[in-house]
Amino acid sequence: MEQNNNLNLNDLKNILIIIDYAADSGTFKGWSNIRKVMELRDKLENFIKNSENNENKNSVSEKNKNQQKDPKSKHDKQKKIK
């Protein structure tokens, strides 16, 4: 069985959940360690949000491109509504 070693956004979201759980459990000791973990957690969360925003923009952009390529489909939809 071939293993997929690529990370995706769901994997990164799960890492956030693990960090939050560990922090709530008191796993991280000392302010220095807590600060480092939380800085990394914030970077990871921002990366995920930016990636999701980019994916949403790209999907909307692709949708608009497809509608522009096929102007007939918009016209056909308007006919069906009437």
Look at residue 29 and tell me whether its pLDDT is greater than 60: yes
54 HSE (CA, 13 A, CB side):
7
At 30, list the tokens: 């000392």
Under 8 Å between Cβ of 47 and 7: no
Q: pTM (2 decimals)?
A: 0.65
- The tens digit of pLDDT for each residue in 13-23 reads 999 999 999 99
Q: Which residues contact 55 (CB under 8 A, 6 or more apart)?
A: 9
Domain boundaries, the chain: 11-53
Strand (E) positions, the chain?
Answer: none
